[in-house]
Amino acid sequence: MGLLQQWFPNLDSAFLADVAKSLALLFVLLILRAVLVRSITKNPRISTDSKLRWIVTVRNTVAFVFVMGLFFIWAHELQAFAVSLVAIAVALVLATKELILCVSGAALRAGANAYSVGDRIQIAGYRGIVLDQDLFATTLLEIGPGQASHLSTGRAVVFPNSLLFTHPLVNETYTEEYVLHVTTVPLRSEDEWQKAEQVLLEVAKAECAPYLEDAKRHMQSLEEKNLLEAPSLDPRVIVQIPEPGRINLHLRFPAPARGRSRIEQAILRGYLSAMAKK
């Protein structure tokens, strides 16, 4: 405080006190964040995904506490300019409408528990795994190309949280450890689709057998937790005729949330190999 008065002798002492409090708050929060992040990073009992999730949570919490602390520290100063601030606030709202929508989108995301770090989501044509999220934007590790692929493109996609108000969000990992995945096998109408259906089911059941019971227990726990009726996890095929002369076999099967591409490829390759032998 005395040092600030020496540097700025013409400033009011109350103003200098608020500046000193703000700097002290920032210093304490930075040290606290560094200590928490270091303890999380060095903890061998926490998985990598959990570490990333906790680090993001700590960073956002510290930022929120700092903003609220500044508000309380400078509250009496703001009261003195209340009338002027009304006009300034209107101008700021008009100038920062998009930023306000982004912050509101973050509140909507948190309130609805729409997604978190590590989830795979789709929104406004973007699709990927959530790497980071803050008050203004969400960062995805892009998956593509297209909606049928499950491979990472190596690119990061950043979209504003305001998109949550204008576009529907799809969370592909809402059921956490296991998901129901659908892949399509197209056929011609003259092909033996009954044989193809039988082979596809046999291969799918063989590939899903090692984890099927575990997946059923997981879905049962989610059913009890969320009071919903879990669908059957046994592989099944739905036949559709998209156009004359074409038949599509839609195979639905359970798969680990982070291994659906591997299971899908194993099923398709096993199906093609089995059909080639018949």
CATH number, domain of 240, equals 3.30.70
Which DSSP state fits 212?
H
Do 53 and 15 belong together in one domain? Answer: yes
Of 64, 80, 96, the last residue of a domain is 80
Of 80, 111, 134, the last residue of a domain is 80
The pTM (predicted TM-score) of the whole model is: 0.56
Q: Is-contact 254 181, C-beta < 8 A? A: yes
Q: Is-contact 131 120, C-beta < 8 A? A: no
Do 182 and 262 belong together in one domain? Answer: yes
pLDDT score at 217: 86
Q: Is-contact 60 36, C-beta < 8 A? A: no
Residue count of the chain: 278
Do 22 and 97 belong together in one domain? Answer: no
pLDDT score at 148: 62
- Name the packing angle between helices 13-42 and 48-73 (round to 10°): 170
Do 237 and 164 belong together in one domain? Answer: no
Q: Is-contact 141 133, C-beta < 8 A? A: no
Residue with tokens 């209340």: 82
Do 143 and 56 belong together in one domain? Answer: no
Q: What is the CATH number of the domain that holds 143?
A: 2.30.30.60
pLDDT score at 98: 87
- The residues with which 246 forms a beta bridge, in sequence order, are 188
What is the Cα–Cα distance from 120 to 115, expressed in whole angstroms? 8
Do 188 and 222 belong together in one domain? Answer: yes
Of 155, 174, 193, the last residue of a domain is 174
Q: Is-contact 64 29, C-beta < 8 A? A: no
Of residues 234, 228, 235, the one with CA closest to residue 174: 228
Q: Is-contact 237 201, C-beta < 8 A? A: yes
Rg for the chain (alpha carbons), in Å? 27
pLDDT score at 260: 82
Do 185 and 271 belong together in one domain? Answer: yes
| Domain coverage including residue 71 | 2-80
Mean pLDDT (10-residue bins), the chain, 278 residues: 49 71 90 90 82 87 89 75 70 82 91 86 88 92 74 86 92 79 90 92 93 86 71 88 91 86 91 85
Do 166 and 119 belong together in one domain? Answer: yes
What is the Cα–Cα distance from 137 to 60, expressed in whole angstroms? 12
pLDDT score at 4: 47
Number of domains in the chain: 3
Do 170 and 198 belong together in one domain? Answer: no
Do 224 and 250 belong together in one domain? Answer: yes
pLDDT score at 73: 83
Give CA torsion, residues 190, 193, 199, 205, to 10 deg. Answer: 150
Do 207 and 268 belong together in one domain? Answer: yes
What is the Cα–Cα distance from 144 to 222, expressed in whole angstroms? 29
Do 182 and 273 belong together in one domain? Answer: yes
CA atoms within 13 A on the CB side of 166: 10
pLDDT score at 49: 77
pLDDT score at 120: 86
Of residues 111, 107, 116, 115, the one with CA closest to residue 52: 116
CA atoms within 13 A on the CB side of 229: 1
What is the Cα–Cα distance from 225 to 123, expressed in whole angstroms? 27
Q: Are strands 246-256 and 178-188 parallel, antiparallel or unpaired?
A: antiparallel
